[in-house]
Chain A
Amino acid sequence: MTLRDDRTALPDKRAAEIADISQQRLRYWETTDLVTPDVERVISPRNIVRLYSLQRVVELVVASELRRQGISLQHIRRIIDHLRRQGYESPLREVRFALSGGRVMFQHADGSWEDSLHPFQGVMWQVIDLEEIRARIQGRLTRRGADVGVIEKRRKVQASKPVFRGTRIPVEAVEGYLRAGKSTEAILEAFPSLTEEDIEAARAQLTSVA
């Protein structure tokens, strides 16, 4: 399933995983205004919800990639400031970056590269492809394979009733559909985050109780 940019918002933990950075680093980038969440809601002093849109996650992945290539945060900030002065609101996801030996080039929307230098001449440049990053993010939004078909109880989730791992769907919900004679396909349409393995796990649990 492809998620719509305008509807998607990922919790900070998930955004950090996708960008392959720690939550501490994510928080540091927020406090230093490098990439900030779209939604911030204080539930309690120790529980603050932070949500990142898909666009913001693209920015996180690009920043993470630049850091991995040895570009310092200061350098990234200088580039962002420079591009903002040229009218970009969110440079990290609006221009294409190319890297080589600590040097950074960027390609504008009209196809021109900064300073009119073509990065592919002479030396090898590694281009950060925004489309590839978007596709990679979409691919990482599904449940982890290890979670599929596993039933567990989690504290603070559905009053600790059994749920399918990686979801907040109680197993008893699916058991009701099975008792009512609903097909696997119908159940998967009702709960799109589940898989056939989950339904089989619920069926097995139902059979063992009966």
Chain B
Amino acid sequence: MRFVLDEDVDTKAVGSFLRQRGHDCWSVIDAGLGGADDDAVAAYADDRSAVLITHDAEATRRRRRFTFGRHLFLRCHQLDAVGLLEPHLEELISELERHEMGVLEVRHDGVKYHPPRYESD
């Protein structure tokens, strides 16, 4: 699966973790989108058919109001991202494969899928 890491995600830890498991993964910094607003980042990830991974709660709220693409919202501190992803990765991949768009929220107590409230064109 293809992942784009938002600017607020630990590029080294999460990137290495996902690549070791055979996923294609790069950061918005690699894309030249450092400092770009979250709409631009989401549009970029969707254009590349990639899942956007973020810790940004406000951006995630915006994507839940107007959903396009697939988003993985890590509700934890950046230091805990890999610890949060590791036990849920298989479930996350399976959920991401089932849905063309939506937000998957990953918390310490589990994974929750937020479907689009309405679909974009």
- How many A-B Cβ pairs are below 8 Å? 105
Judged by a CB distance under 8 angstroms, whether B57 is at the interface is: yes
Contact A3 B66, CB 8 Å, known A51-B40, A173-B55, A176-B79? no
Report the stretch among B10-18, B99-107, B109-117 that lies at the interface: B10-18
Chain B residues with CB below 8 A from A7, complex form: 26, 30-31
Judged by a CB distance under 8 angstroms, whether A123 is at the interface is: no
Chain A residues engaging chain B, CB cutoff 8 angstroms: 1, 3-4, 7-11, 14, 38-39, 41-44, 47, 49, 51, 54, 141, 143, 156-159, 166-170, 173, 176-177, 180, 189-193
Chain B residues engaging chain A, CB cutoff 8 angstroms: 6-8, 10-13, 26-27, 29-40, 43-44, 46-47, 55-58, 66, 68, 77-79, 121
Instruction: Check B44–A51 contact: CB distance below 8 A.
Output: yes
Instruction: Check B31–A8 contact: CB distance below 8 A.
Output: yes
* Complex-state Cα separation, A170 to B58, whole angstroms: 12
Chain A residues with CB below 8 A from B66, complex form: 43-44
Chain B residues with CB below 8 A from A11, complex form: 33, 36-37, 40
Cβ of A41 to closest chain B Cβ, rounded Å:
4
Instruction: Check B32–A9 contact: CB distance below 8 A.
Output: yes
Residue of B nearest to A3 (CB): B32
Chain A residues with CB below 8 A from B77, complex form: 173, 176
Chain A residues with CB below 8 A from B37, complex form: 11, 156-157, 168
Residue of B nearest to A163 (CB): B8
Instruction: Check B44–A158 contact: CB distance below 8 A.
Output: no
Instruction: Check B40–A49 contact: CB distance below 8 A.
Output: yes
Cβ contact of A190, chosen from B13, B34, B68, B121, cutoff 8 A: B13
Cβ of B11 to closest chain A Cβ, rounded Å:
6
Instruction: Check B43–A41 contact: CB distance below 8 A.
Output: yes
Cβ contact of B78, chosen from A1, A9, A159, A190, cutoff 8 A: A190
* Complex-state Cα separation, A10 to B37, whole angstroms: 11
What 19 new A-B contacts, CB under 8 Å, besides A3-B31, A168-B36?
A: A7-B31, A8-B30, A8-B32, A9-B44, A11-B36, A39-B43, A39-B47, A49-B40, A51-B43, A141-B32, A158-B8, A158-B58, A168-B7, A168-B8, A168-B35, A170-B8, A173-B55, A191-B11, A193-B29
Instruction: Check B8–A9 contact: CB distance below 8 A.
Output: no
Cβ contact of A54, chosen from B13, B29, B32, cutoff 8 A: B32
Cβ of A3 to closest chain B Cβ, rounded Å:
5
* Complex-state Cα separation, A54 to B37, whole angstroms: 19
Cβ of A160 to closest chain B Cβ, rounded Å:
8
Cβ of A140 to closest chain B Cβ, rounded Å:
10
